[in-house]
């Protein structure tokens, strides 16, 4: 039966609110989508070129990693026994754009979809930082998108938010990288209070220098820790510097000297006892890190701890800290194993979280003023400093 004019008017009248509601819902979704931002993150502070894409939801929920790609320069630097800054910069130049293409393709995005370009502003090697910053600013200017310079350590600190089990604020953070060892109270993004730090070498440096003394190749930390699996951690009585100092500071320079003395004493036997020496060195470093972290938890009454930075990949550290914290009903969070060392995902994530928290807005000034030396205190939200 054909519809009469009255029927059409009746239908139109009664379906109008429905259509209107649908239109509003569609507009709201489009608006939300428009507000959600795609962050491209570039890390180039040392010997890894990392690029990643993170989607920052408009509703303030935890940003999501869409894709990331990494090129490690370990093979290139190995022949020199350590990072050669000039070679590092040149290699970043070669890698950064192909890696960018790779993350865009694997996320099904194009450069035009990128809303903000984030890069590591410091600390790190000046030349290496300049590559990431320069490329980020050039992309930003060409696309007419704002850029944001990120503190490398804040990237590490917030990297556990990329894991399947993200932490909640507040927490104690043990930041253990190649250049830094710090215990921090973290109350939110940009709300960091340093409780203790190393007065000389960092934990990663202690691993690397001890490995070198033992004749292990670069990068020392992971190689020493692999070798330690076959050794006896109690074979050599090595010092645990500042273990009972009562404060939350660290000192690892003396440990390296003790390892050197022990290696010399062993002489020709070093080769046969290397695994034992590696295991004993690792045990000394881990004992101090675990004890000081427990002290920080006790002093602050915090119930949650986050471990970040390259040394956070160490299995003995994870096992001992997990054990100690389980006994005290304290939650421990780590970044995913492959995101413990330097990567672009943590830089994109830190940028997204800073924007969401209203700590910093990206800008179109494109001044790539990198900061090779940049204490984390410098970015602490002033109201809480």
- Residues in touch with ligand KG4 (CB under 6 A): 46, 156, 177-179, 204, 207-208, 219-222, 225, 309-311, 313-314, 341-342
Q: Please state, in angstroms and rounded to a whole number, the distance separating the CA atoms of residues 143 and 296.
A: 46
- Out of ligand KG4, Zn ion, none, what residue 204 binds, judged by CB under 5 to 8 A for its kind, is ligand KG4
Residue 244 vs residues 248, 286, 317: alpha-carbon distances, Å: 10, 15, 19
Instruction: Name which of ligand KG4, Zn ion, none residue 222 binds, using a CB cut-off of 5 to 8 Å depending on partner kind.
Output: ligand KG4
Tokens 């494109």 found at:
366
* Cα distance between residue 347 and residue 368, in whole Å: 16
341 alpha carbon, distance to own chain's centre? 7
Q: Which of 96, 159, 342, 374 binds Zn ion (CB under 5 A)?
A: 342
Looking at the Cβ atoms of 56 and 283, the one nearer to ligand KG4 is 283
What is the nearest approach in angstroms of Zn ion to the Cβ of residue 152? 6
> Whose Cβ is closer to Zn ion: residue 153's or residue 330's?
153
Rounded (10°) angle between helices 203-213 and 220-228: 70
User: In Å, how far are 40, 55, 100, 113 from 107, measured between CA atoms?
Assistant: 11, 10, 11, 11
The two three-digit tokens of residue 113, written as one number:
């979809």
Q: Tell me if 225 contacts Zn ion by CB under 5 A.
A: no
The reply on whether position 177 binds Zn ion by CB under 5 A is: yes
Q: Shortest Cβ distance from residue 318 to ligand KG4 (Å)?
A: 9
The binder of 313, among Zn ion, ligand KG4, none, by C-beta within 5 to 8 A per type, is ligand KG4
Cβ at position 361, least distance to ligand KG4 in Å: 26
Q: Please report how close the Cβ of residue 373 comes to ligand KG4 at its closest, in angstroms.
A: 14
Is the CB of 37 or the CB of 314 nearer to ligand KG4? 314
- The entry of Zn ion, ligand KG4, none near residue 208 (CB within 5 to 8 angstroms by kind) is ligand KG4
User: Residue 120 and residue 42: Cα distance in Å, rounded?
Assistant: 7
E-strand spans in the chain?
A: 37-43, 48-56, 64-72, 116-122, 147-151, 171-176, 181-188, 191-197, 304-308, 331-333
**What residue ranges bind Zn ion (CB under 5 A)?**
177, 342
């Amino acid at each position: 039966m054909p519809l009469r004019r009255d029927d059409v008017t009746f239908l139109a009248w009664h379906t109008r609110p429905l259509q209107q509601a649908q239109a509003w819902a569609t507009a709201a979704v489009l608006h939300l989508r428009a507000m959600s931002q795609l962050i491209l993150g570039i890390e180039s502070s040392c010997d890894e070129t990392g690029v990643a894409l993170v989607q920052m939801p408009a509703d303030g929920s935890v940003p999501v990693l869409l894709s990331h790609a990494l090129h490690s320069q370990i093979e290139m630097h190995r022949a020199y026994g350590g990072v050669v800054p000039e070679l590092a910069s040149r290699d970043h130049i070669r890698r950064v754009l192909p890696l960018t293409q790779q993350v865009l393709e694997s996320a099904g995005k194009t450069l035009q979809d990128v809303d903000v370009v984030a890069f590591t502003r410091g600390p790190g090697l000046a030349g290496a930082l300049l590559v990431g910053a320069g490329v980020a600013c050039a992309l930003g200017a060409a696309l007419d998108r704002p850029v944001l310079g990120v503190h490398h350590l804040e990237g590490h600190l917030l990297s556990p938010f990329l894991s399947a089990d993200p932490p909640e604020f507040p927490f104690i953070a043990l930041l253990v990288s190649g250049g830094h060892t710090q215990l921090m109270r973290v109350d939110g993004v940009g709300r960091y209070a340093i409780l203790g730090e190393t007065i000389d070498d960092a934990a990663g440096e202690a691993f690397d220098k001890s490995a070198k003394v033992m004749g292990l190749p670069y990068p020392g930390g992971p190689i020493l820790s692999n070798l330690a699996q076959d050794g006896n951690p109690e074979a050599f009585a090595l010092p645990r510097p500042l273990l009972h100092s009562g404060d939350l500071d660290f000192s690892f320079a003396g440990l390296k000297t003790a390892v050197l003395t022990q290696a010399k004493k062993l002489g020709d036997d070093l080769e046969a006892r290397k695994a034992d020496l590696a295991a004993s060195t690792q045990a000394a470093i881990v004992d101090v890190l675990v004890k000081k972290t427990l002290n920080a938890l006790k002093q602050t009454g915090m119930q949650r701890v986050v471990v970040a930075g390259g040394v956070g990949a160490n299995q003995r550290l994870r096992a001992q800290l997990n054990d100690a914290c389980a006994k005290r009903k304290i939650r421990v969070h780590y970044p995913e194993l492959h995101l413990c060392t330097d990567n672009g995902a943590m830089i994109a994530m830190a940028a997204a979280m800073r924007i969401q928290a209203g700590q910093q807005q990206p800008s179109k000034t494109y001044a790539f003023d990198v900061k090779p030396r940049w204490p984390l205190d410098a970015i602490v939200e002033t109201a809480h400093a």
